[in-house]
Each structure stands twice: as C-alpha cells, then as structure tokens.
C-alpha cells in the first residue's frame, strides 16, 4: 500500500517511531500548505516505510502518529540512470524528473565527450544540492523511497553495473534486462565507449541529453509497472 | 529516410525548391555552428520533406541544393497532447520536450481547476513564443515535421477529439487507440471532467503536470515506434 492515495501532504522524517519534522518541513506544512493542529499528513523514512500522522497542538510543531507503520516492497528491478555531465546541462531538472518517476539511483558521470568536469569541492556542493532537489521531488510525488544520488563518477564504473547499457539511437528496444542505462553527452559517445557497452534506443528522434534521461525513466518505470510491455 | 543520420545542422525553410534561410538561421549556421561555404546541412519544409544543401560562397548567405527532395511519411497515428495551463507551469519546457519526442499537436487548455487563464492578447503572444520554442526544438532534434502548437482552448474542445482520454493515476495502461491525451492541472480533474472522459495511467507515482506531459509523449511515441508494446 502506498501512502494515502494520490493527494495530501507527505514529508520525510529520520525515525517513524520518534516523529520529528525538520524545521523546513514544519514551515512547509504550516505556512505553505496551511496545515493546522489535528490535520493529517503522511511521513516516510525514505526507505520504504510510512505512516499517517497529524500535527500536534503544541508550539514546538510536535507530530502525533495516527496509523501503524506500513512497509512498501521495493519495485523490482531497481533502476539506475547515469547521466553525462554536460555544459549548460540541467542536472536539477534530470534529478527532479527521475525522482518523480521513481528511479532508484541517479548518478552523474564524466563521458569521453563531456566538456564539463566538476572539481572535487564543486562536486560535493553539487551533490548536496541534487540530494535536496531529490528530497523535495520525492515529497511532492509521495515516494516512500529516496533515490540514491551518486557522487560524480566515470563511464567505466557505471559500465561495470550488471546489465548496464548505453542509450543510443542505433540501439535495440529497452527492456528490464538492462536496468542500468547510461545517457551520453550531446557530443555523442566515443568509439571506446561504444565498443564497451551495447545500446538501447529510446526514440526515433535525436533527443537532448536531459530529454533522453527523462525518456529512459518514463519507459523503464512503465515497463516495471506493467503499463507497457517489451516489444 | 530521415535527414542524414543523427547529426549535422538542420534548419527549416519555406520552400525546398527556392532555398532561402531566415536571417536567424543563417546566423545560427555561420556563427554558432561555424559552417563555411561548401559545408553541408539539411533543410526541411516542416511538412515531411527535406533535402541536403550546402552554404554558397556569396555574401548573401545563398544556399545551394545538393540532393533531391526526399519525403518522409508521417508516423501513424498522429499524437496530440493537451496540457492544462497552470500557475508556475512551464509551457516552454513541455513544448520543447514534446517537440523533440515527435508529438504532432501540442495544445494548451483551461481545465476546471486551472488557476491560470490567458487573456486574448497574452494568449497570442504566448502562442507565438511557444511556436518559436517548437521550431528551435525541431531543428535541434532534426524533425521533418513541425508540430501544431494550438491556441489555448478548453477541455470540451479537446475531449471531442476522436480517442481523447485523460491522464490520471487511476487509469488503464496507455495505448494508441487513445492518441489524444489531456494532462490535467496539479489540482486534479473536476468531477465533471472525470465523468466526461476515461483515463490512462502513466506511472505509479504522482507526477507534476509537466512531467506527466513529457511521460505521455515518451510512452506514446515509443509505442508508435514499436520500441515498447501495449501491456
């Protein structure tokens, strides 16, 4: 069972047995969404468990449990999307959309034709930023699992994942035997990268890199949810 | 045959027999992409035809035909996505992504729970702006057809399209019997709207309105291209 249908406020907490809201989430519930004491919402630990809660009447933003803790099995297989860092790329957009769609791991990487490389201190700041984007998107889309947002890595590390494959217009139809998909830079894949991994095709069109990532997420989650079938 | 593989510059012209570039496209080819006289590119009329051309050597940006005019049959069925106007919505993002994916008609509409309504003069300006976004996205994704970007309309008009259906988390799997999909506002559908049209489901997650539009385009174009099958 997923948290309380398709609407109502949803937040993440550290511990479902000792409910405490982050200040920013308390603010979001009471100021942006205008919840009042007694109003219900759902809380999740980001690892598959959730429960119904309500705002307490105390001044400190206490939260009271209402329902039991429920657990949602993780959908199988877990899906990983690696996206190449690119100049002018919009990693926030990619992370937001992939989180909404329920991708399990989202990992930036440097491809041979990536023009952009993040230096270590920038990589740390950017990863923290992308994790905040993912948390907000997961709240809004009522996920019970937070995706893993990986530190930037390289092609070879992602290519070593079981079933890893590249997205490429010359590839085969997507299928869940390849639950890890690498989306390349707009400059395309290098010969070495092409040689190393097979490819799946997402569209008959030439997609921007960010669109290719979102399309991969849409097609693989639909296959996983049984909304479409392998061709 | 689609225009010359997956790379190389691609522009739209009024008439493939009398090749003339718009100033902005000439600027794009010669300044941004740094084409020189003699360099090849492809031009399309936006209605299914295209040919290989090259930049002439004259000062006026003449264009010389190289190949014959080729025609690409329109994929069937044509796909229409209506998206509800919403506060803070990103119609440019929706139009850009849907154009890249090859959606044939993209039409904003006012749903019962749309908070936003465009006044006539704003609607005209916005429609012109969205058409420019579509043209740029179609050039980048090497389309031979420009999508129809409709003037803002209402639910009833779109609901009257043959096979029209709503996107809704309680719906059935998508299929090409329903090639016109209406994507609602984040406030959800009204009872009247629910009553009027059936629904397809795009994801097991609650998607933002813009994400639902892009996901609809990804799933329907993949079904149309035979990359996935109906479940």
Segment A154-213, tens digit of pLDDT? 999 999 999 999 999 999 999 999 999 999 987 799 999 999 999 999 999 989 999 999
- Secondary structure of residue B183 in the 3-state scheme: strand
Which pTM was predicted?
Answer: 0.95
- Give the count of alpha carbons within 13 A of A176, CB side only: 17
Task: Give B160's contacts (C-beta < 8 A, 6+ positions apart).
Answer: none
CATH class of B10-71: mainly beta
Phi, psi of A171 (to 5 degrees): -85, -175
Cβ within 8 Å of A, B 11-70 = none
* Residue B72 forms contact with A (CB below 8 Å): no
> What pLDDT shows up at residue B140?
92
- Cβ neighbors of B216 (< 8 A, separation 6 or more) are B81, B167, B174, B181, B183, B202
C-alpha angle B230-B99-B184 in degrees, rounded to nearest 5? 65
The answer to whether the complex's ipTM is over 0.90 is yes
Residues contacting A5, CB < 8 A, separation 6+? none
Interchain contact B80–A (C-beta under 8 A): no
How many contacts (CB atoms, under 8 Å) link A and B? 143
d(CA A43, CA A68) in angstroms, rounded, equals 11
Pairing of strands B40-44, B10-12: parallel
Q: Are B224 and B176 in contact (CB under 8 A)?
A: yes
Query: Which one of A101, A206, A211 has the shortest CB-CB distance to B205?
Result: A101
- Please report residues of B whose CB lies closer than 8 A to that of A211: 97, 100-101, 214
Taking an 8 Å cut-off on Cβ atoms, the answer to whether A229 and B230 are in contact is yes
Residues 117-136 of B with CB under 8 A from A: none
For B222, other C-beta atoms within 10 Å of its C-beta total 27
What residues pair up with A65 in beta bridges, in sequence order?
A53
If you measure CA to CA, which chain B residue comes closest to A218?
B215
Pairing verdict, β B228-230 and A228-230: antiparallel
Residue B174 with chain A: CB contacts under 8 Å: 222, 227-228
- Shortest CA gap A92–chain B (Å): 14
Residue from A134, A165, A218 to probe the interface with B (highest B Cβ count within 10 Å):
A218
Check A215 against B7: CB less than 8 A apart.
no
Q: Which of B142, B225, B228 sits opposite A229 (nearest CB)?
A: B228
Which member of A7, A102, A207 has the closest CB to residue B205? A102
Q: How many CB atoms lie within 10 A of CB B139?
A: 20
> B7 pLDDT exceeds 80?
no
B41 compared with B121, residue with greater pLDDT: B41
- Percent pLDDT > 90 in chain B is 78
Q: Is B76 an interface residue toward A (CB < 8 Å)?
A: no
Least confidently predicted of A5-9, A83-87, A200-204, A214-218: A5-9
- Return d(Cα A146, Cα A14) in angstroms, integer: 12
Contact A107, A66 (CB under 8 A): no
Domain A80-224: which topology?
A: Alpha/beta knot (3.40.1280)
Distance in angstroms (rounded) separating the CA atoms of residues A10 and B143: 41
Q: Which helix (H) or strand (E) holds B11?
A: strand B10-12
**Interface contact A73, partner B, CB < 8 A:** no
Inter-axis angle of helices A91-101 and A209-224, nearest 10: 10
Query: Structural domain boundaries of chain A?
Result: 10-71, 80-224
Give the pLDDT confidence of A115-169 residue by residue, as tens digits: 777 888 888 999 999 999 999 999 999 999 999 999 999 999 999 999 999 999 9
Q: Is the pLDDT of residue A61 over 80?
A: no
Is pLDDT larger for residue B56 or for residue B58?
B56
């Amino acid at each position: 069972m997923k948290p309380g249908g398709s609407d109502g406020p949803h937040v993440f907490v550290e511990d479902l047995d000792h409910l405490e809201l982050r200040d920013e989430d308390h603010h979001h519930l009471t100021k942006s969404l205008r919840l009042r004491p007694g109003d219900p919402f759902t809380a999740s630990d980001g690892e598959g468990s959730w429960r119904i809660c309500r705002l307490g009447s105390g001044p400190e933003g206490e939260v009271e449990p209402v329902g039991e803790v429920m657990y949602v099995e993780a959908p199988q297989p877990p899906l990983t999307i690696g996206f190449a860092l690119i100049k002018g790329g919009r990693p926030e957009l990619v992370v937001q959309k992939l989180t909404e769609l329920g991708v399990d791991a989202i990992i930036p990487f440097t491809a041979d034709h990536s023009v952009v490389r993040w230096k270590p201190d920038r990589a740390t700041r950017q990863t923290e930023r992308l994790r905040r984007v993912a948390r907000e998107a997961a709240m809004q889309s009522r996920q019970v699992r937070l995706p893993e947002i990986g530190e930037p890595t390289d092609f070879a590390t992602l290519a070593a994942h079981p079933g890893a494959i590249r997205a490429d217009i010359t590839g085969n139809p997507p299928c869940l035997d390849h639950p890890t998909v690498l989306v390349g830079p707009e400059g395309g894949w290098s010969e070495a990268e092409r040689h190393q991994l097979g490819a799946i095709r997402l569209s008959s069109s030439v997609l921007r890199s960010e669109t290719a990532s979102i399309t991969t997420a849409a097609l693989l989650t639909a296959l996983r949810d049984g909304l479409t079938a392998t061709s």
